[in-house]
Amino acid sequence: SQKIEQNSEALNIQEGKTATLTCNYTNYSPAYLQWYRQDPGRGPVFLLLIRENEKEKRKERLKVTFDTTLKQSLFHITASQPADSATYLCALYNFNKFYFGSGTKLNVKP
């Protein structure tokens, strides 16, 4: 089955800097890949979707890249704010199933 790797160590950055989170996967490339935000005790909230034929997607301060050769997606938050502190999950979609990574916790310090 699909294996998804996200950095399990928390990412600590200073407010205003750019946060970059990584999602690597093994096996087959997904039809598309999504990024979600999860706050403690809450359900994941959709942020961005990128398809296998797209290289980059942007939404406000968020940017996602997708490299099917490297089997990797990068998620960037520019001009980060303390309110961006959360766990960020990447999810791969294939065959009517979403596989989630374990998430990376982002801490943005004021």
Partner 1 sequence: EPEVTQTPSHQVTQMGQEVILRCVPISNHLYFYWYRQILGQKVEFLVSFYNNEISEKSEIFDDQFSVERPDGSNFTLKIRSTKLEDSAMYFCASKLENTGELFFGEGSRLTVL
CB of 41 to partner 1, least distance (A): 8
CB of 96 to partner 1, least distance (A): 5
Q: Looking at beta carbons only, is 17 or 55 nearer to partner 1? A: 55
Binding site for partner 1 (CB under 8 A): 31-32, 34, 36, 38, 41-46, 49, 51, 89, 91, 93, 95-103
Residues whose CB falls within 8 Å of the CB of residue 81, separated by 6 or more in sequence, listed in order: 15, 108
Say how far apart CA 63 and CA 82 lie, in whole Å.
18
CB of 15 to partner 1, least distance (A): 27
Burial of 32 (0-12, 13-18, 19+ CB in 10 A): middle
